Amino acid sequence: MSDASNSDPDQNNLTPLKKKLMENIVSFEEAKDLRQNTVTEILNKKIRQKKEPLANLNKYLKQKEKLEKQLGREIPKFEMLEECLKVGSKMDIDNYIGLTDGIHREGIKLSETILEIINQMNDKRTKAFEKLINDRHNCPISEFMNCLIRFGDTLPVYIPPIGSVADLKGVGAIQMDLDATLEINSYAAAKINEVWCLCIIKESSICENGLESTYLMIDIENPEKEKKWLNRQAIIPCPKYRADPRTYPNAVFPEGAYVLVLYPQTTSFYKGIVLHPPKTLDESYAIIFESDTNTSGFSVPQTVPQMFVLACAYQTLST
């Protein structure tokens, strides 16, 4: 038996594959297979790393589906309330008043439950997309743009609490007040390096006069590089809620309106014109852009979610 202390020290630095070849444990063909398996494993590991940010979004979509099922269980209860009202109309006045009071209380309770579910869905939606932004360098550009559109499409619809007056500021086409304080982690258009970019608000310095407040804007395309403090008047916040055109037609831009629009498959805003406004809750805007390459002077219509169609004065667009 050979002494271990006299063994060749270089043997300890050999890869398992080379050791097996030297010991004639595997043939050359088997060695090629082992090498291929090693390469495949490395590639699979890199693919898993790239898919990790998308996994966060898929996790959100599963949570969203669960909450939607819960929402589906609550909504039919309103139909039961309507049936109760029909029955109540045949009762004497005292019983009818008692029944309607109970239905009103139950309706408020159900409304609060539905609003709570919607807020939970929006919170999960926002956190999932923010994780995607933070892992931007691991996500292919095409996948990121598809996720951006899905993020815009899933902006929560505005539903005012029962018994309260609807406050439409920040809903669809209705702008927030210029001196309104903007929320951290909300989205807005901001002019960085002469381009209107989709940004996320990460910090703020609030003044008593809201017009003098400043915000740290981070370009979602380059979150690690493009950061800039801007005055409130240089920021156009995205809508907080989607407007239902059938309920709030004044919260939707009309046909022919000039707007600031996120150009499809980019994170930049450009001047556009509303060709067709949405007519239902699930529809998006049809937008045309000025184009020098088309004989008509305009691009083909592009579909853009409400979240990325912003109110902006015409003169502001060129500044």
Pairing of strands 285-289, 302-304: antiparallel
Q: What are the start-end ranges of the E strands in the chain?
A: 187-192, 195-205, 214-219, 227-231, 235-237, 258-262, 269-276, 285-289, 302-304, 309-310
Q: What is the 3-state secondary structure (H, E, C) of 205-263?
A: ECCCCHHHCEEEEEECCCCCCCEEEEEHHHEEECCCEECCCCCCHHHCCCCCCEEEEEC
Q: What is the pLDDT of residues 279-297, one digit of tens each?
A: 998 899 999 998 878 877 7
Residue spans per domain, the chain: 47-153, 174-238, 245-319
Q: Specify the residue for token string 């667009």.
A: 317
Sheet of strand 269-276, all strands in order from the earlier edge strand to the far edge: 302-304, 285-289, 269-276, 258-262, 309-310
pTM of the predicted model as reported, rounded to 2 decimal places: 0.65
State which amino acid sits at residue 237.
P
CATH class of 174-238: mainly beta
Closest CA relative to residue 234, chosen from 318, 316, 169: 316
What is the mean pLDDT of the segment spanning 117-130?
A: 79
Integer Cα distance of 10 and 5 in angstroms: 13
pLDDT band (50, 70, 90) for residue 310: very high
The fold of the 245-319 domain, in CATH, is SH3 type barrels. (2.30.30)
Q: Look at residue 255 in the predicted model and tell me its pLDDT.
A: 95
Q: What is the pLDDT of residues 153-212, one digit of tens each?
A: 989 888 887 667 788 999 999 999 988 999 999 999 998 888 899 999 999 999 988 888
Integer Cα distance of 304 and 284 in angstroms: 6
